[in-house]
Structure formats: C-alpha cells, structure tokens
Amino acid sequence: MNVRIDTTESPTEQEILAILTPLRAYNVSKAGDAGAEKFALLVRDDVSGEVLGGLSGKLLYRWMFIELLAVPEQARGQGLGSRLMNMAEELALEKNCVGIWLDTFDFQAPDFYRGHGFTEFGKLSDYPPGHQRYFFQKRLDQGAEPDVLA
C-alpha cells in the first residue's frame, strides 16, 4: 500500500469523518456500542427565551461527560451551578450511568466540583502555561471504589 501524510490547518468535516469512521469501528469491535447521546440543560432568559448559559455533555459507555458548564455572570452565587449539577446527576442516574467525569482549569471551578463530591483523577500542568487543567470523576455505582490518584 502506498500512502502519504498531508498536513492541513483546516480539515473538512468529511476528512475528520474519514479518520473517525475506522476508529469508531475498531472501538465498537473491542468495547461494544458506546450508546452515545448528547444532552443539554439550558438556562434561558424568562422574557426573551435567549440561552444565557447551561450545562451540556455526552453519555458514552455508561459514563456522563460534562463538557460545558456556564453560569451567567448575573446569576452567579445564587445556586444555579449547583442546580445544574444536581440535574445532570439525576439524569446520569436515570440513564444508569457508572459515573460522571469532567475537566476544568484551576481558574475556573475545581473547588466547586470537589464540593459536589468529585475526586481528581488527573492533572495537566502548564495548560495553559502557568495554570493547571484538572480531571474529575464522581462514581454513581454503589459499592465501587473510586480511582483516586495516590
């Protein structure tokens, strides 16, 4: 087989899909169907209906991944972030998830997530330079021991 490697700074959706298709097929052959689902909890302005923030993520392999959590500036400190996290956890339980995982930066909300029962399972230093990116999980399956860094 003759191949070459090209570099592009602007891959098309079709090119990305060409990379993903064999990878997904391999993953399914080894781990089964991921059962992928997207979800979002939208915070809307009561009057205009405009989306001001919220929480979004994916369900894969019976784990919930919280990709984004944004509390509107004017609503911070009023428990909205906690409400969103509680709603996400309820959804994860309804979907029979093993747990929830997410990542955050040191200048965002690591203590917030710790306060919601999440434990750190990884840290990437100097991302961005001078800061840390933390990876957290919260097990929902009863009796399981969490994977905690030593």
User: Secondary structure of 79-104 in the HEC alphabet?
Assistant: CHHHHHHHHHHHHHHHCCCCEEEEEE
Question: Can you give the length of the chain in residues?
Answer: 150
Looking at residue 149, its pLDDT comes to: 57
Q: Are 120 and 149 in contact (CB under 8 A)?
A: yes
pTM: 0.87
Looking at residue 80, its pLDDT comes to: 97
Does the pLDDT value for residue 47 go beyond 70? yes
Rounded Cα distance between 70 and 72, Å, is 6
Topology of domain 32-139, per CATH?
Aminopeptidase (3.40.630)
